[in-house]
């Protein structure tokens, strides 16, 4: 009988990435969130206590600016050493072998599996065999699984692998393989990394992505943490997700279809914020809010978006430790506000001209060339211009609504 923790994608000291955070938000708390989440992981390992910890790649976010990141990691590994906890890790695409990483002298309780070929580490006292391979370079395009060793008889076999499997949205297709590739290997548990969303791929055998330890931006929403695994009589007896993040990211849609006044909107938003705060369980919450629906109050919204941003931010702050990362105004005007009905005239030709100019901007070769030079990670976390046709249409509709709201405002006595 033994217990272990499976974690991945720590991204220690990962920088902030394109966060449209409002003034007064806990920026320093967010900057230090990866380390604090890792501290929570160490605390969990010691408190259980577990027999070993598996780290399935991307411990670091890339090359260090100095040795402080490595020294921090060594200090935590020595604490696990004092507690008698072993650590086995592989490198992924973000922390593939580098000069600084190779120079780091790990304590004897830590095994960093080789990048040259798959290696097996046998823990004889636990009757466990851990098979794994680090990335030799950032972009690994080949399937690593066929070269992994066959399972060792009479041992509990674990595969440690950084992979995209057959591909997941938002992640490069590194070390591609299939679910069947892993099942047919004959291991008892596959400890995967690379995909930042927690996922149970299979339960017989267990094939698990724990997700990343701490969300870093709005595309990494929801609870983050690690997997605690209990093995009894050579079989997985329990697989339990433990929340370890210190800052929570969330996306909330608010239907404004029946809202007619400012008071109703702010009250509805306050209720939504409270629900999100309750789900965050006391953590600081970075929230993206989207207002949507065919809204009788739409004209009031689009006439002064800045005012409504500040009003909603105030409600969020009053509710608790909530910070609005961004507010998306995607409401629509009621059909009876057709611009063609304004005094029998039509401004539709003007709108058509605006649409045409915007489409030409989206498709401009010079712009596409510029976007092609930007890092893919930058464009994934915060696109500079919408590339999806549906998102482009939303932007064009917002432009139309702002113009129409201005016309309606001028017509009021």
365 and 223, same domain (yes or no)? no
DSSP letters spanning 220-269:
S-S--EEEEEEEETTEEEEEEEEE--SSEEEEEEEE-TT--SHHHHHHHH
Same domain, 207 and 271: no
CA distance 331 to 318: 24
* 55 contact partners, CB below 8 Å, separation of at least 6: 7, 8, 10, 87, 88, 89, 90, 193
- Burial class of residue 21 in the structure, from the number of CB atoms within 10 Å of its CB (0-12 exposed, 13-18 middle, 19+ buried): middle
CATH number at residue 125: 3.60.21.10
Indicate the helix (H) or strand (E) that contains 365: helix 365-373
Task: Clarify whether residues 166 and 281 are in a common domain.
Answer: no
Tell whether 59 and 131 lie within a shared domain: yes
User: What's residue 297's pLDDT?
Assistant: 81
239 plus 252 within the same structural domain: no
- Reading the chain (413 residues) residue by residue, the pLDDT tens digits are 999 999 999 998 876 554 545 566 777 788 889 999 999 999 999 999 999 999 999 998 866 666 788 899 999 999 999 999 999 999 998 887 655 556 678 999 999 999 999 999 999 999 999 999 999 988 899 999 999 999 999 999 999 999 999 988 888 899 999 999 999 999 999 999 999 999 999 999 999 999 999 998 889 999 999 999 999 999 999 999 999 999 999 999 999 998 888 999 999 999 999 999 999 999 999 999 999 998 888 878 888 888 999 999 999 999 989 999 889 998 887 764 455 544 545 555 655 665 565 555 555 565 555 555 555 544 444 444 555 666 666 666 666 666 655 555 555 44
Pair 227, 305 in one domain: no
Mark whether 306 and 203 lie in a shared domain.
Answer: no
Say how many domains are in the chain. 2
Same domain, 154 and 293: no
Residues 204, 283 within the same domain: no
d(C-alpha 404, C-alpha 394), whole Å: 15
Q: Of the residues 186, 219, 243, which one is the last residue of a structural domain?
A: 243
The whole domain housing 20 covers 2-243
* Domain final position from 190, 211, 243: 243
* Residues 198 and 280 both lie in one domain: no
Co-location of 120 and 57 in the same domain: yes
Question: What's the token pair of residue 60?
Answer: 């670091």
Last residue of a domain, one of 243, 271, 296: 243
Question: Domain check: are 98 and 236 in the same one?
Answer: yes
271: how many CB neighbours lie within 10 A of its CB?
A: 13
């Amino acid at each position: 009988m033994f217990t272990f923790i499976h974690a991945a994608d720590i991204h220690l000291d990962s920088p902030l990435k394109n966060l449209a955070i409002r003034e007064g938000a806990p920026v320093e708390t967010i900057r230090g969130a990866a380390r604090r989440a890792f501290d929570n992981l160490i605390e969990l390992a010691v408190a259980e206590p577990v027999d070993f910890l598996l780290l399935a790649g991307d411990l670091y976010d890339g090359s260090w600016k100095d040795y402080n990141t490595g020294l921090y990691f060594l200090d935590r590994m020595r604490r696990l050493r004092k507690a008698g906890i072993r650590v086995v890790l592989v490198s992924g695409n973000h922390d593939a072998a580098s000069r600084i990483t190779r120079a780091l002298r790990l304590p004897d309780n830590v095994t960093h599996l080789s990048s040259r070929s798959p290696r097996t580490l046998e823990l004889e006292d636990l009757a466990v065999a851990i098979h794994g391979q680090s990335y030799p370079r950032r972009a690994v395009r080949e399937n690593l699984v066929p070269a992994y060793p066959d399972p060792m008889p009479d041992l509990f076999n674990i595969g440690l692998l950084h992979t995209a499997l057959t591909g997941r949205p938002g992640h490069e297709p590194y070390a591609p393989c299939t679910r069947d590739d892993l099942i047919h290997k004959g291991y008892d548990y596959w400890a995967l990394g690379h995909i930042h969303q927690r996922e149970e791929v299979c339960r017989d055998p267990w094939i698990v992505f724990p997700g990343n330890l701490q969300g870093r931006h709005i595309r990494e929403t929801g609870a983050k943490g690690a997997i605690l695994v209990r093995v009894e009589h050579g079989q997985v007896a329990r697989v339990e997700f433990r929340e370890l993040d210190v800052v929570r990211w969330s996306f909330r849609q608010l239907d404004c279809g029946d809202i007619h006044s400012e008071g109703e909107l702010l009250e509805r938003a306050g209720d939504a914020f409270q629900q999100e705060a309750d789900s965050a369980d006391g953590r600081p919450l970075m929230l993206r809010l989207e207002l949507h629906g065919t809204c009788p109050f739409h004209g009031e919204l689009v006439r002064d978006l800045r005012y409504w941003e500040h009003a909603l931010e105030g409600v969020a702050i009053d509710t608790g430790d909530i910070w609005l990362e961004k507010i998306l105004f995607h409401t629509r005007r009621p059909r009876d506000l057709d611009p063609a009905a304004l005094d029998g005239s039509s401004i539709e030709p003007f709108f058509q001209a605006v649409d045409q100019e915007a489409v030409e901007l989206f498709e401009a070769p010079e712009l596409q060339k510029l976007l092609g030079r930007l890092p893919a990670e930058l464009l994934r976390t915060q696109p500079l211009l919408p590339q999806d046709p549906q998102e482009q249409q939303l932007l064009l509709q917002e432009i139309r609504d702002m113009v129409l709201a201005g016309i309606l405002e001028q017509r009021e006595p």
